[in-house]
Amino acid sequence: MKSTKVNLNPPPKTPIGYTWSRYLELFVSYFSSCIFVLVLTVGGVVYHYYQTLKGNEKSDPSSIVDDQGPYHDFKKMKAKNDLRYYALQLGLDLHEYRVQTKDGYILILHNLFDPKESSEDKDKREPFLLQHGLLSCSGAFLSGGYQSLAFYLHKAGHDVWLGNNRCWFEPLHATIEGNLMYNEEFWDWDVRELAYYDMPCLIDNVLSHKPHHEALFLIGHSQGCTQNFLMLRNSELDEWHRKVRYFFPLAPAIYPGPLFHNRAFLRFMRHRSQSSFRWIFGRYSFLRLITFARNNLYSTRFFSYMSYVMFSFLFLWNGRKWNPSRKLWHIHFIFNVTFVSTKLMSWWLAEWVPQSFANELQPAKAYKTDAHFSPQLTDAKLQKDDSKTYFPYKESWFDDVSFIVPMVAFIGGEDFLVDGKRLASHMKDFEPSYTNENLKVVELIDYSHLDVVWAADLQPRIGKVIVETVRGLSPEEQESTEEKLTKVA
C-alpha cells in the first residue's frame, strides 16, 4: 500500500518570544524535573532489591565466550570519561573530529585506528559508521573493550567510525551564542533533524577521509536505527542513500513494545498534555540534572549503580547477559545520559505529537497474542490507527525512494521496549522492494534492548553475522566468484 504523505523534513524555524510565562515555566520545570528524578530513583532502588531477592540479577555464565577479560590489565584501569583512554587500553587509538551540520550544530565523530598501521593500509579498510541510541553516545560501541562490537569490526579489518548526535555531553553550535543550556532556539529539534542533518553530516565526513570508498556500512542501535530509517525513506536524501552499502539495525526503535503499557512512568509521560509536559520537563534539555550528575560524578560507583537501577526499573531489562564485572558496567554507564532536547523526548513519549513513537503503540490486548504484528488483523480493538506517524504499519515507506539499501536487522526476544516482530512483519508484508535477497531478520531470543551493544557474547552472535555479510559483498570475493563461474562455463 502506498504511504500516506507525511512531512519527513524538519519544519522551518519560527521566531521565539521570551515572555514572563516562559521564565516561570523554566523555574517550575526545574523543580518538577528534580522531583520526577527523585521519585524515579527511589522506585529504581526498591525495584532493584526486589529483583535481587527474586534472583533475577544473577549473571548468565553462558554469555561469557572467553576468559580474556574486557581489557588488558583491567584491574588497574580507572573510570574515566575520555573514550580515547579505553581505546589505548586495547592497543589502539582514537581520533576525535568536530564536524558541523548544515544547521550549525557541532557533532563529535570518533575514528578507531591502529597507530602502528600505515596510512596506506588504513585507507584500504572499508568504513563502518556506528550510530548510538537515545541518551547514549559513541562510547556504547567501545566501552566493552575486547568484547565490544567496535573492537571486533576493527580486528576483522574494517575502518570503524563512531558517530554522535547533537548534543553529546556538551552543547555546541557554530552561530548560536550565549548560554546554550537555556537557549530555546538551540533545543528546537527532534528526530527529523537527526535524520535530515546529523546523519548526512556524519556520513559525508567519514567518506571525506576515505578517498578509495564511495559508500560505507551503517550500524544503528535503537534511536540510531530510527533516524536512519527516517533518512532512508526520505526521497530528498537520495544522495546519501547511495552512500550506504548495507544497513545493520540493532534493536530498531520503530514500533513501541508492551513496556509502554506496563511501566507507570512511561504511561505518565505518554498521557500528559502539551502544556503539562512542558511545565514538568521544560523546553530545553530533557532532565538535564541527570547529565549534570554524570559530568560530575562519573568516576564514582554511586553514579553507575544509580544509572543501572533507574534504567532497569524504567525499561525492564537487566545485565544478566553482560560481563559480570560491575567495574565494566560502571564504564558502560559513563557513556550514557547525554543531553537531548525535550522536544525529541516529546516525539518519543507524548501522544499530543501526532507523528510520535507513542502514537504507534497498539492496545494492550494486542501484545498478549500475535495481534500486534498480524498483517491480516482488522479488529479495531486490537489495531490502532498509526497512519499519521512516520512509520505506518500497513503502508510502504520506500515507494518514493529510487535506491534501496539492503539490511540485516537484529531484534531481541526479551526486548519489551521496542517491538521488533512488528517491524519484521512490516518489512516482509508491506515493503515490496525488500525480499529475501536484500533483507534478513535475526532474532536473538534471549536478548533485551541493551544486550545488542553490551552482551558479553555479542561478537559471535552479531559481529560475526555482520562481518560475514560484508565479506560476501567484498569486491575481491565477487571477482573470485566470477572467475570460478567463468571456468565452470
Q: Which residues pair with 407 in a beta bridge?
A: 247, 439
Catalytic residue among 29, 136, 222, 304: 222
Active site residue 222: yes
Helix/strand number for the chain, H first, E second: 20, 8
Q: Please confirm whether the linkage preceding 167 is cis (ω < 30° from 0).
A: yes
Give the cell for residue 446.
534471549
Contact in structure between 459 and 152 (CB atoms under 8 Å): yes
Contact in structure between 26 and 182 (CB atoms under 8 Å): yes
Active site residue 93: no
Give the cell for residue 343.
522536544
Work out the number of other CB atoms within 10 angstroms of the CB of residue 183: 16
227, burial (CB in 10 Å: exposed 0-12, middle 13-18, buried 19+):
buried
Spatial CA neighbour of 160 closest among 94, 88, 82: 94
The C-alpha angle 363, 365, 367, rounded to 5 degrees, equals 85
Question: Where would I find the beta strands (DSSP E) of 114-203?
Answer: 127-131, 159-163
Give Cβ neighbours of residue 120 (< 8 Å, ≥ 6 apart). none
The C-alpha angle 11, 386, 435, rounded to 5 degrees, equals 95
Catalytic residue among 415, 419, 451, 457: 415
Give the cell for residue 113.
585506528
Length of the chain, in residues = 489
Q: Which residue has the cell 479495531?
A: 380
Helix axes 20-54, 288-297, angle to 10 degrees: 60
Give the cell for residue 38.
527523585
How far apart, in whole angstroms, are the C-alpha atoms of residue 143 and residue 120? 28
Active site residue 457: no
Contact in structure between 126 and 101 (CB atoms under 8 Å): no
**Range 26-44 burial, b when 16+ CB lie within 10 A, else e:** beebeeebeebbeebeebb
Contact in structure between 418 and 222 (CB atoms under 8 Å): yes
Catalytic residue among 132, 173, 213, 449: 449
- For the annotated catalytic residues, the residue numbers are 222, 415, 449
